[in-house]
């Protein structure tokens, strides 16, 4: 199918992206890249992936169990990726922890915990700006009935590689399968990473999970697949999030999770 490509400016930043209003993320972010299908046909793969019967509601008192399910799924898959496994068990465990930190910030926000977790991964955002973004996010969630739902079985870990046309293979595969693709980029000078971590030889991984997020046109929570791209920083000895991604059914409009 043909694709439409556009850049969204800060005006689009009011779209909610699960973890918060995108205007918060734009404190340190570039406009997201949107790749959507002109036709709104929905492929069978998209239908299967976003099957609402696969989702379960996340409960406040089930946080520990939910985290365990996500971490175990990531560790199991990461160990099957040679370039990741070669980095050692600590790297595999940290990859799972890096994703859990992002999800916890979405669904069980705690400023002190979340701020310190980001700081430990090289995020130099001043505390006052981070607090402002956190408070706006909390205020937005309180403005409507926020009942997060996810598909634990849909957690997917993939090595990121560049194709001969310099496109990310994994995003091309998602697009060819019928998904709309949104990639959110954060200013690279905010992290100890080069402009293009994959092209500069870093080991980079995508982790995504089907989850309900705010869909702009319907103004309701709808299923999509969202997650992050992480690069292994050998100096820090940690995985650093450098992009957020979202794959949606054609015709829908979502933001991306804030980085």
| Residue pair 245/171 in contact by the 8 Å Cβ criterion | yes
Q: Quote the number of domains for the chain.
A: 1
pLDDT of residue 12: 28
Rg value, the chain, Cα: 17
Residue 63 belongs to a domain: yes
pLDDT of residue 5: 30
Residue 206 belongs to a domain: yes
Residue 101 belongs to a domain: yes
Which is more confident, 133 or 151? Answer: 151
The answer, yes or no, to whether residue 13 has pLDDT greater than 80, is no
Single out the residue of 119, 124, 96 nearest to residue 230, CA to CA. 96
Pairing of strands 33-37, 56-57: unpaired
Residue 256 belongs to a domain: no
Residue 259 belongs to a domain: no
Mean pLDDT of the chain: 79
Q: How confident is the model at residue 36 (pLDDT cuts 50, 70, 90)?
A: low
What's the DSSP call for residue 39?
S
Of 20-34, 56-70, 84-98, 135-149, give the lowest mean pLDDT range. 20-34
193: its two tokens: 């990473």
Phi, then psi, of 239 in degrees rounded to 5: -85, 130
Specify which of 14-23, 146-155, 160-169, 231-240 reaches the highest per-range mean pLDDT.
Answer: 231-240
Residue 255 belongs to a domain: no
Spatial neighbors of 102 by CB under 8 A, at least 6 apart, are 19, 228, 241, 257
Residue 258 belongs to a domain: no
- Domain hosting 36: range is 3-248
The answer, yes or no, to whether residue 25 has pLDDT greater than 50, is no
pLDDT of residue 55: 94
Residue 119 belongs to a domain: yes
């Amino acid at each position: 199918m043909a694709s439409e490509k556009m850049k969204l400016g800060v005006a689009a930043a009011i779209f909610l992206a699960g973890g918060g209003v995108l205007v918060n993320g734009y404190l340190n972010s570039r406009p997201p890249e949107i790749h959507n299908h002109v036709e709104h046909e929905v492929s069978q793969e998209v239908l299967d992936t976003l099957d609402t019967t696969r989702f379960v509601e996340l409960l406040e008192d089930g946080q520990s169990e939910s985290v365990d399910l996500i971490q175990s799924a990531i560790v199991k898959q990461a160990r099957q990726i040679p370039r990741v496994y070669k980095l050692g068990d600590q790297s595999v465990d940290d990859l799972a922890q890096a994703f859990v930190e992002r999800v916890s910030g979405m669904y069980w926000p705690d400023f002190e915990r979340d701020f310190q977790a980001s700081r430990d991964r090289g995020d130099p955002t001043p505390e006052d700006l981070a607090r402002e973004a956190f408070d706006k996010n909390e205020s937005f969630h309180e403005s409507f009935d926020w009942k997060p739902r996810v598909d634990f079985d849909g957690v997917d870990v993939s090595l990121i590689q560049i194709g001969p046309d310099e496109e990310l293979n994994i995003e091309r595969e998602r697009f060819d399968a019928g998904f709309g693709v949104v990639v959110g980029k954060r200013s690279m000078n905010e992290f100890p990473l080069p402009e293009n971590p994959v092209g500069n030889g870093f080991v980079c991984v995508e982790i995504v999970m089907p989850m309900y997020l705010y869909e702009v046109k319907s103004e309701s929570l709808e299923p999509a697949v969202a997650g992050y791209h992480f690069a292994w920083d050998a100096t820090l000895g940690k995985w650093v999030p450098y992009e957020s991604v979202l794959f949606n059914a054609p015709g829908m409009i979502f933001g991306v999770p804030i980085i």
